[in-house]
């Protein structure tokens, strides 16, 4: 566990970057520091591994004041990942990853074996190991940066905007892989970002900082969206927070049976079972393939069979037990207006309409309001 | 010319060897001195102007004046080869302090912070990260220092140190057949400068395999 105890950082020029910060980052969890540029995120992060020393206050790491640990020793036990990876250009990928085990005097062979495993875990092929950083893409460099931080298996990781210098597609990949990795590793992570979406996606808890280094709110992502503690937080969390909060709400929505036909079935059969112009098409295993439009015959050419190539693939699939946001999105994106819900193996369970989802959301909100008077009066 | 070479072979080799030695050793000593000075200049912003400024001033002292003045300062004999080595070392330091400092400053801040965050102590970081990454810039400076030393060494003839420059005075003192020794001196100086330059380039390439990777990309 990392604990900030009334920590203040005043730079020599008088700038107060962090002001009396009290904050706890629980073990095995991801704590995200988020806030506008210049609010003291990097400063707070670097005080943990003593790259910056606090002006006053104490930072505790598992019950020890960091000020009592020699900086180099402290840092070797804390993984650190930064925006542009900061790899050593003169060392191969493998040598970059084995840096900290080398400093700790670990056995070279073991360190290299472990480094190869780590590279694989972060999604890099073994042949990348002998490359130099300049021969990697930005996303690959970032993966090496993560592997390097993990090489000596430190219990704590500090990450300063590690994914913000790559394009959105790669960023999403890296985020997902990072979450998967953390499920296995359970590191105590402090993660800095200025992107509220990233904070909400990755954080077990999110600390919103305001300029001047004040802690504006510390909460789980869902609570941050549903109950911002101030207008500053509300503004920072953004406009569509109501919709995004649905991403954290689960709830059973009654499913209706949906008539289906197989790929390659007779159009006549489709017409017989159809509820309206749209018929849902599934494969032999019962996995939805797309929607068939009965009147959709632009060339005037009458189809005899339901062909996979002419299916409408517009609708997203929601998994039963998933968030209400994904269920609502399935309904809104479906050409028939009926959202497709599948089980964990991808087999069709039934469909829902947007109206049904909204009813469910409203019912949940009514329950929430009556059962939760503590929150009354908050903006 | 051929006659001259065959009858003076041993002497020519001896002069060439001494010239090479006098060109290289001061640069090596100079580099060893310039490394800590350059490090200080790179690390502390206030130290850069005085260090690099004084080093630059040293370079403007005429070499002959230095050769003549050093015995008085070092209490060496006028004809002592030490004077030449010290004088040439001063020039090497003058050139290399700036080069070392600029080389170290050229290392990216991200890389340095990552090294610190990983738990390198200052000295470890210097030798493992900063110095290797400054090699390309420093090596370029070492090339200039070495090649310019090859021509500076010839001046030492006036304080009695034997090297290829000796061939010029020998040629001039002759009444007949002046040309062979003079031409030999010029030719061998040129070849020596080229060979040393190539050797340094080769060593730099071997020491910086990562740079070829950068170029290929
Ligand atoms: N070395 C320094 N000297 C003086 N002021 C500094 C120094 N480093 C940072 N600051 C100031 O402290 C404040 C916080 O800086 P910090 O780098 O922690 O912000 P940040 O939240 O990480 O911002 P960003 O999102 O832009 O990275 C800023 O106002 C910054 O200008
Ligand atoms: Mg920052």
**What's the pLDDT tens digit per position in A309-323?**
888 888 889 988 888
Read off the pTM: 0.80
Q: Which residues of B touch A78 (CB under 8 A)?
A: 117
**Total residues found in chain A within this entry:** 379
Is there a domain that residue A110 lies in?
yes
Please, what sign has the CA dihedral across residues A120, A125, A131, A137? negative
| Cβ distance of B213 and A103 shorter than 8 Å | no
Average pLDDT over residues B109-132: 95
Q: Which of A370 and A109 is assigned the larger pLDDT? A: A109
Q: How far apart are CA B117 and CA A145, in angstroms?
A: 12
Q: How far apart are CA A228 and CA A218, in angstroms?
A: 10
Q: Which residues of A touch B124 (CB under 8 A)?
A: 103
C-beta atoms surrounding A276 within 10 Å: 9
In terms of domains, do A193 and A335 share one?
no
pLDDT of residue A310: 86
Is there a domain that residue B107 lies in?
yes
Count of domains observed in chain B: 1
Is there a domain that residue A374 lies in?
no
In terms of domains, do A227 and A158 share one?
yes
Report the range out of A181-185, A372-376, B151-155, B175-179 with the highest average pLDDT.
A181-185
Average pLDDT over residues A352-366: 89
Q: Which of A255 and B1 is assigned the larger pLDDT? A: A255
pLDDT at B34 over 50: yes
| Cβ distance of B118 and A135 shorter than 8 Å | no
Boundary (domain end) residue, out of A246, A269, A286: A246
Nearest CA to ligand 1 atom 14: A40
C-beta atoms surrounding B31 within 10 Å: 20
Q: How confident is the model at residue A302 (pLDDT cuts 50, 70, 90)?
A: low
Closest ligand to Cα A44: 1
Q: Which residues of A touch B126 (CB under 8 A)?
A: none
pLDDT of residue A375: 41
C-beta atoms surrounding A180 within 10 Å: 12
In terms of domains, do A271 and A134 share one?
no
Count of domains observed in chain A: 2
CA of A64 to the centre of ligand 1 (A): 26
Q: Of the residues A8, A15, A216, which should be mutated to test ligand 1's pocket, given the most ligand atoms within 8 Å of the CB?
A: A15
Q: Which residues of B touch A101 (CB under 8 A)?
A: none
In terms of domains, do A229 and A294 share one?
no
Q: How far apart are CA A340 and CA A280, in angstroms?
A: 9
Boundary (domain end) residue, out of A196, A217, A246: A246
Question: Is residue A248 within 8 Å of residue A361, measured between CB atoms?
Answer: no
pLDDT of residue A379: 37
pLDDT of residue B195: 95
pLDDT of residue A297: 59
Q: Is A7 exposed, middle or buried (0-12, 13-18, 19+ CB in 10 A)?
A: buried
- CATH (domain of A151): 3.40.50.300
**Total residues found in chain B within this entry:** 217
User: Could you tell me if the CB of A34 is within 6 A of ligand 1?
Assistant: no
Return all residues near A87 (Cβ < 8 A) that are at least 6 apart: A93, A96, A133, A141, A144, A145, A148, B111, B114
pLDDT of residue A378: 36
Question: Is residue A74 within 8 Å of residue A81, measured between CB atoms?
Answer: no
Q: How far apart are CA A205 and CA A200, in angstroms?
A: 8
In terms of domains, do A72 and A23 share one?
yes
In terms of domains, do A222 and A279 share one?
no
Is there a domain that residue A375 lies in?
no
The per-residue pLDDT of chain A, averaged, comes to: 90
CA of A43 to the centre of ligand 1 (A): 6
| Residue closest to A104 by CA, chosen among A135, A138, A77 | A77
SS3 per residue for chain A:
CEEEEEEEEECCCCCEEEEEEEEEECCCCEEEEECCCCCCHHHHHHHHCCCCCCCEEEEEECCEEHHHCCHHHHHHCEEEECCCCCCCCCCCHHHHHCHHHHHCCCCHHHHHHHHHHHHHHCCCCHHHHHCCHHHCCHHHHHHHHHHHHHCCCCCEEEEECCCCCCCHHHHHHHHHHHHHHHHHHCCEEEEEECCHHHHHHHCCEEEEEECCCEEEEEECHHHHHHCCCCHHHHHHHCCCHHHHHHHHCECCCCCECCCEEECCCEHHHHHHHCCCCEEEEECCCCCEEEEEECCCCCCCCCCCECCHHHCECCCCEEECCCEHHHHHHHHHHCCCCEEEEECCCCCEEEEEEHHHHHHHHHHHHHHHHHCCCCCCCCC
- Chain B nearest C-alpha distance from A5 (Å): 22
Is there a domain that residue A284 lies in?
yes
- Chain B nearest C-alpha distance from A104 (Å): 9
Complex ipTM over 0.90: no
Q: How confident is the model at residue A371 (pLDDT cuts 50, 70, 90)?
A: low
B151 is in which domain, residue-wise?
2-212
pLDDT of residue A303: 65
pLDDT at A307 over 90: no
Full DSSP string of chain B? -HHHHHHSHHHHHHHHHHHHHHHHHHHHHHHHHHHHHHHHHHH-GGGHHHHHHHHHHHHTS-HHHHHHHHHHHHT--TT-HHHHHHHHHHHHHHHHHHHHHHHHHTS-HHHHHHHHHHT--HHHHIIIIIHHHHHHHHHHHHHHHHHHHHHHHGGGGGGT--STHHHHHHHHH-SS--HHHHHHHHHHHHHHHHHHHHHHHHHHHHH-HHHHHHHH-
How large is the angle between the packed helices B131-153 and B81-105, nearest 10 degrees?
A: 150
Is there a domain that residue A372 lies in?
no
| Cβ distance of A51 and B117 shorter than 8 Å | yes
Strands A16-25, A2-10: pairing kind = antiparallel
In terms of domains, do A296 and A226 share one?
no
Is there a domain that residue A290 lies in?
yes
CA of B41 to the centre of ligand 1 (A): 26
In terms of domains, do A231 and A97 share one?
yes
pLDDT of residue B215: 63
CA of A15 to the centre of ligand 2 (A): 15
Q: How confident is the model at residue A370 (pLDDT cuts 50, 70, 90)?
A: low
Tokens 């061998």: give the residue: B188
In degrees, rounded to 5, the angle at the alpha carbon of residue B139 between the alpha carbons of residues B198 and B60 is 105
pLDDT of residue A26: 97
Q: How far apart are CA A64 and CA A150, in angstroms?
A: 22
In terms of domains, do A321 and A226 share one?
no
Lowest model confidence (mean pLDDT) among A78-87, A144-153, A242-251:
A242-251
Is there a domain that residue A165 lies in?
yes
pLDDT of residue A149: 96
Is there a domain that residue B205 lies in?
yes
| Cβ distance of A99 and B118 shorter than 8 Å | yes
- CATH (domain of B110): 1.10.3720.10
In terms of domains, do A139 and A47 share one?
yes
Q: Which residues of A touch B216 (CB under 8 A)?
A: 135
CA of A47 to the centre of ligand 1 (A): 12
pLDDT at A59 over 70: yes
- Chain B nearest C-alpha distance from A180 (Å): 24
Strands A214-219, A2-10: pairing kind = unpaired
Q: How far apart are CA A149 and CA A77, in angstroms?
A: 10
Strands A348-353, A288-293: pairing kind = unpaired
Q: Of the residues A9, A36, A43, which should be mutated to test ligand 1's pocket, given the most ligand atoms within 8 Å of the CB?
A: A43
A38 is in which domain, residue-wise?
2-246
pLDDT at A377 over 60: no
User: Could you tell me if the CB of A193 is within 6 A of ligand 1?
Assistant: no
Is there a domain that residue B217 lies in?
no
Nearest to A86 among B114, B119, B132 (CB): B114
Closest ligand to Cα A39: 1
Is there a domain that residue A50 lies in?
yes
- Round the CA-based radius of gyration of chain A to a whole number and report it: 26
Average pLDDT over residues B33-51: 91
What Cα–Cα distance (Å) separates residue A137 from each residue in A53, A140, A144? 34, 5, 11
Nearest to A103 among B118, B208, B216 (CB): B118
Q: Which of A377 and B143 is assigned the larger pLDDT? A: B143
Q: How far apart are CA A229 and CA A379, in angstroms?
A: 7
Strands A260-262, A78-81: pairing kind = unpaired
User: Could you tell me if the CB of A27 is within 6 A of ligand 1?
Assistant: no
Chain centroid to CA B191: how far? 16
- Which site among B45, B119, B132 would you substitute to test the A interface, given the most A Cβ atoms closer than 10 Å to its Cβ? B119
pLDDT at A85 over 90: no
C-beta atoms surrounding B190 within 10 Å: 12
- Round the CA-based radius of gyration of chain B to a whole number and report it: 21
In terms of domains, do A150 and A56 share one?
yes
- Chain B nearest C-alpha distance from A73 (Å): 7
- Chain A nearest C-alpha distance from B204 (Å): 13
C-beta atoms surrounding A345 within 10 Å: 9
Question: Is residue A7 within 8 Å of residue A19, measured between CB atoms?
Answer: no
Using a pLDDT cut of 90, give the percent of chain B over it.
48
Closest ligand to Cα A33: 1
Condensed to tens digits (0 to 9), the pLDDT of residues B84-115 reads 888 899 999 999 999 999 999 999 999 999 99
In terms of domains, do A21 and A97 share one?
yes
pLDDT of residue A374: 40
């Amino acid at each position: 566990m990392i604990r900030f105890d009334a920590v203040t950082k005043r730079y020599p020029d008088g700038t107060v970057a962090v002001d009396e910060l009290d904050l706890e980052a629980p073990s095995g969890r991801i704590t995200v520091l988020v806030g506008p540029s210049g609010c003291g995120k990097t400063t707070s992060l670097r005080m943990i591994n003593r790259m910056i020393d606090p002006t006053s206050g104490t930072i505790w790491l598992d019950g020890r004041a960091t000020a009592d640990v020699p900086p180099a020793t402290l840092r070797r036990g804390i993984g650190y990942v930064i925006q542009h990876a900061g790899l050593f250009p003169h060392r191969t990928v493998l040598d970059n990853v084995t840096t900290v085990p080398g400093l700790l005097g670990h056995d070279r062979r073991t360190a290299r074996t472990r480094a190869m495993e780590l590279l694989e875990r972060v999604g890099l092929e073994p042949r990348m190991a002998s490359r130099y950083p300049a021969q990697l893409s930005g996303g690959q460099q970032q993966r090496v940066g993560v592997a390097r931080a993990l090489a000596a298996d430190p219990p704590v990781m500090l990450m300063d905007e590690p994914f913000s210098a790559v394009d959105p597609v790669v960023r999403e990949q890296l985020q997902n892989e990072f979450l998967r990795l953390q499920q296995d590793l359970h590191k105590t992570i402090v993660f800095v970002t200025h992107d509220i979406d990233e904070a909400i996606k990755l954080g077990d808890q999110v600390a919103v900082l305001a300029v001047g280094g004040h802690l504006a709110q510390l909460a789980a992502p869902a609570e941050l969206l549903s109950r911002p503690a101030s207008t500053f937080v509300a503004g920072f969390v953004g406009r569509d927070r109501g919709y995004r909060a649905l991403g954290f709400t689960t709830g059973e929505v009654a499913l209706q049976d949906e008539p289906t036909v197989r790929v390659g079935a007779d159009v006549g059969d489709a017409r017989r079972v159809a509820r309206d112009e749209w018929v849902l098409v599934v494969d032999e295993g019962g996995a939805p393939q797309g929607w068939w439009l009965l009147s959709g015959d632009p060339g005037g050419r009458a189809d005899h069979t339901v062909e996979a190539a002419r299916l409408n693939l517009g609708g997203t699939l929601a998994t039963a037990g998933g968030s209400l946001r994904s269920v609502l999105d399935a309904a809104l994106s479906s050409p028939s207006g009926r959202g497709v819900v599948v089980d964990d193996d991808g087999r069709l369970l039934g469909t829902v309409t947007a109206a049904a989802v909204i009813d469910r959301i409203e019912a949940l909100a009514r329950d929430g309001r009556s059962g939760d008077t503590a929150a009354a009066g908050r903006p | 010319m051929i006659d001259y070479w065959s009858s003076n072979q041993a002497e020519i080799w001896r002069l060439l060897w001494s010239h090479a030695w006098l060109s290289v050793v001061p640069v090596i000593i100079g580099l060893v001195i310039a490394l800590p000075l350059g490090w200080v200049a790179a690390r502390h912003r206030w130290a850069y102007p005085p260090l690099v400024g004084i080093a630059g001033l040293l370079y403007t002292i005429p070499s002959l004046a230095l050769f003549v003045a050093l015995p008085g300062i070092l209490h060496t004999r006028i004809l002592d080869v030490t004077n030449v080595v010290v004088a040439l070392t001063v020039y090497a330091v003058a050139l290399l302090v700036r080069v070392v400092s600029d080389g170290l400053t050229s290392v990216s801040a991200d890389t340095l912070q990552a090294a610190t965050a990983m738990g390198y102590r200052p000295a470890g970081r210097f030798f493992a990260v900063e110095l290797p990454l400054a090699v390309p810039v420093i090596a370029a400076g070492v090339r200039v220092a070495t090649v310019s030393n090859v021509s500076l060494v010839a001046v030492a003839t006036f304080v009695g140190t034997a090297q290829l420059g000796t061939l010029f005075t020998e040629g001039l003192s002759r009444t007949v057949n002046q040309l062979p020794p003079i031409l030999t001196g010029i030719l061998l100086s040129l070849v020596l400068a080229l060979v040393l330059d190539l050797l340094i380039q080769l060593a730099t390439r071997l020491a910086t395999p990562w740079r070829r990777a950068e170029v290929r990309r």
